């Protein structure tokens, strides 16, 4: 099958939360760490070296993704690039786990339970109480939304259900008109998109890790089916980057 379109996906660079191995998720507007800033600029260099150009970018409303995009634009010298930010591309909502240490949570509940929360398709983490100060309905990006649609915890399946309408209504039509699209988002919102595009099974998706700040190129058919996908980095670099943030068993 012949590739018709090219789509580039990028997970943001390291944030202060990932640096400390804390559950971050939808409701934490963590900033990039100094390493994350450098990773984002390097992601831009990788795109530049590959000779890829864009007409349109999509990102979440979270600082770590927005800043990663800005740093990529800086490297590509394309500050003019139209950008659409949407909460629908935010990280999945980690419920009551948000802000907790992944290591301490594994000690308390066991590695297997934490792996299920982190990588299963349809198991939800514990719910966040709407009275909890971490519930984000009053935070600026969500103030105008109906509070009933703001998540209090999400499985990957839930994340896909709020993200895919945006893909179908806004992103896919733009790709089909020939716009070269860059999407900068999060580990799990991108895992959800990959599950949908590559038709991965509920079991296969538990093993998919997306490394931070390494551009993932998808060559798509006329119907937006991936024909080839590859990272703009060596196998070794991808493995090291996955090991840094992935679930241990997945990156052996």
What is the contact surface with ligand 2PG in residues (CB under 6 A)?
Answer: 23-25, 91, 94, 118, 186-188, 245
Strand-pair category, 83-85 with 5-11: unpaired
Smaller CB separation from ligand 2PG, 81 or 245: 245
- Tell me the closest approach of the beta carbon of residue 91 to ligand 2PG, in angstroms: 5
CB of 137 to ligand 2PG, least distance (A): 19
Shortest Å, Cβ 120 to ligand 2PG: 11
Closer of 24 and 153 to ligand 2PG (Cβ): 24
User: Given the complex with ligand 2PG, which of 3 and 251 has the nearer CB atom?
Assistant: 251
- Cα torsion 237, 243, 247, 248 to 10°: value is 130
Structure tokens at 9: 């996906």
DSSP code, position 30? P
In 3-state terms, what secondary structure has residue 236?
helix
Q: How far is CA 74 from the centre of its chain?
A: 20
Per the annotation, binding residues for substrate are 64, 91-94, 102, 118-119, 187-188
Is 91 designated active site?
yes
Q: For this structure, is 12 an active site residue?
A: yes
Cβ 187 to ligand 2PG, closest distance in Å? 4
Which stretches does DSSP call E strand in 170-214?
181-185
**Which of 18/73 has CB closer to ligand 2PG?**
18
**Catalytic residue among 14, 39, 91, 154, which?**
91
Asked whether the beta carbons of 98 and 24 are under 8 A apart, the reply is: yes
- Give which of 41, 42, 90 is closest to 63, Cα–Cα: 90
Active site residues: 12, 91
């Amino acid at each position: 099958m012949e590739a018709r379109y090219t789509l580039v996906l990028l997970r943001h660079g390291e944030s202060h939360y990932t640096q400390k191995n804390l559950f971050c998720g939808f409701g934490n507007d963590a900033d990039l760490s100094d390493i994350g800033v450098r990773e984002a600029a390097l992601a831009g260099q990788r795109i530049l070296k590959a000779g890829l150009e864009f007409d349109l970018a999509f990102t979440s409303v979270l600082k770590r993704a927005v800043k990663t995009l800005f740093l990529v634009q800086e490297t590509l010298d394309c500050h003019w690039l139209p950008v659409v930010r949407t909460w629908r591309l935010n990280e999945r909502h980690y419920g009551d786990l948000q802000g907790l240490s992944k290591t301490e949570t594994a000690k308390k509940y066991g590695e297997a339970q934490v792996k299920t929360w982190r990588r299963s398709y349809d198991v939800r983490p514990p719910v966040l109480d709407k009275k909890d100060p971490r519930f984000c309905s009053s935070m600026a990006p969500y103030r105008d939304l109906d509070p009933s649609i703001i998540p209090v915890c999400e499985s990957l399946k839930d994340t896909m259900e709020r993200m895919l309408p945006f893909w179908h209504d806004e992103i896919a039509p733009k790709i089909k008109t020939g716009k070269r699209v860059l999407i900068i988002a999060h580990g799990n919102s991108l895992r959800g998109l990959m599950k949908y595009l590559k038709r991965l099974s509920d079991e296969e998706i538990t093993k998919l890790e997306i490394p931070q700040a390494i551009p993932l190129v998808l060559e798509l058919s006329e119907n937006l089916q991936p024909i080839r996908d590859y990272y703009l980095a060596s196998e070794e670099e991808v493995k090291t980057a996955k090991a840094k943030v992935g679930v241990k068993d997945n990156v052996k």
